[in-house]
């Protein structure tokens, strides 16, 4: 019986299976996965006249990584901001006036309602408009329309940051804050103006990472196991049934 067991073990090794290791313990090693784009939110757009004080919000639903069976390792915010300045200037005197219009952007920051550090959208300070006009007596003119825009991307990669964007329910918001100073001056005075700046912001969030990989034990089907054993039995019988060489006397 011992010889039969050893022979069967030897035949199974030849067939590619180690008899001393239970078949049910064979496990597939998980494959490594590169970080890829998993989800992109719809764009959120709003426009309002400055100054912005955080009342206007760019709000998104949190991402449920458990439901999606994903591991998030990077979140990217894409944001486009556009500032459009326009208006009128009125000369209330009986003679022409040279009028200078200056509108300077002092601040354009984004804050959040989930405790992340604020970040700048535009480099500041910068002039949105800095131009002189000749305005006739008792005249009102339209100033030129000036548009300034920028596009930025902001990445969040730390575990602490990423966790704030994830959840089964709830939302998170980006809050814009601006500070614009406008000054209209004329030699001689008696000039009025109506200057405004419209802010338009478009935002989108992307989630990067990988799908979770389930590591499962591979247990051969009964038919496969019986097939291997049957093959081993045939090979064993074949070996034991070979005629033995007679020893020379």
User: Would the pLDDT of 128 be above 60?
Assistant: yes
pLDDT band of 11, cuts 50, 70, 90: very low
- C-alpha–C-alpha distance, residues 36 and 16, integer Å: 37
DSSP for 5-23? Answer: HHHHHHHHHHTT--TTS-G
pLDDT band of 24, cuts 50, 70, 90: very low
Question: Are the beta carbons of 110 and 176 closer than 8 angstroms?
Answer: yes
Q: How far is CA 179 from the centre of its chain?
A: 28
User: Would the pLDDT of 238 be above 70?
Assistant: no
pTM exceeding the 0.75 threshold for the entire prediction: no
- What is the 8-class DSSP label of residue 119? E
User: Would the pLDDT of 49 be above 90?
Assistant: yes
- Structure confidence by residue, pLDDT tens digits, 132-188: 999 999 999 999 999 999 999 999 999 999 999 999 999 999 999 999 999 999 987
- C-alpha–C-alpha distance, residues 172 and 163, integer Å: 12
User: Averaged over 11-29, what is the pLDDT?
Assistant: 42
């Amino acid at each position: 019986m011992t010889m039969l067991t050893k022979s069967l073990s030897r035949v199974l090794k030849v067939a590619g299976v180690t008899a001393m290791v239970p078949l049910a313990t064979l496990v597939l090693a998980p494959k490594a996965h590169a970080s890829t784009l998993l989800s992109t939110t719809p764009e959120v757009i709003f426009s309002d006249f400055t100054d912005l004080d955080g009342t206007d919000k760019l709000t998104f639903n949190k991402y449920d990584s458990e439901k999606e069976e994903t591991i998030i390792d990077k979140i990217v915010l894409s944001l486009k901001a556009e500032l459009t300045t326009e208006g009128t200037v009125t000369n209330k005197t009986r003679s022409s006036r040279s009028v200078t219009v200056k509108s300077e952007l002092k601040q354009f920051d984004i804050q959040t309602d989930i405790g992340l550090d604020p970040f700048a959208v535009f480099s500041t300070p910068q002039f949105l408009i800095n131009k002189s006009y000749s305005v006739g007596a008792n005249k009102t003119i339209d100033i030129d329309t000036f548009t300034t825009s920028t596009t930025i991307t902001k990445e969040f990669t730390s575990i602490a940051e990423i966790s704030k964007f994830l959840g089964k329910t709830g939302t998170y918001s980006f809050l814009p804050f601006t500070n614009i100073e406008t000054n209209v001056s004329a030699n001689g005075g008696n000039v009025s103006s109506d200057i405004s700046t419209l802010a338009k912001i478009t935002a989108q969030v992307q989630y990067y990472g990988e799908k979770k990989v389930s590591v499962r034990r591979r247990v051969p089907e009964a038919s496969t196991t019986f097939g291997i054993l049957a093959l081993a039995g045939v090979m064993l019988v074949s070996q034991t049934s070979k005629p033995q060489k007679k020893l020379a006397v």
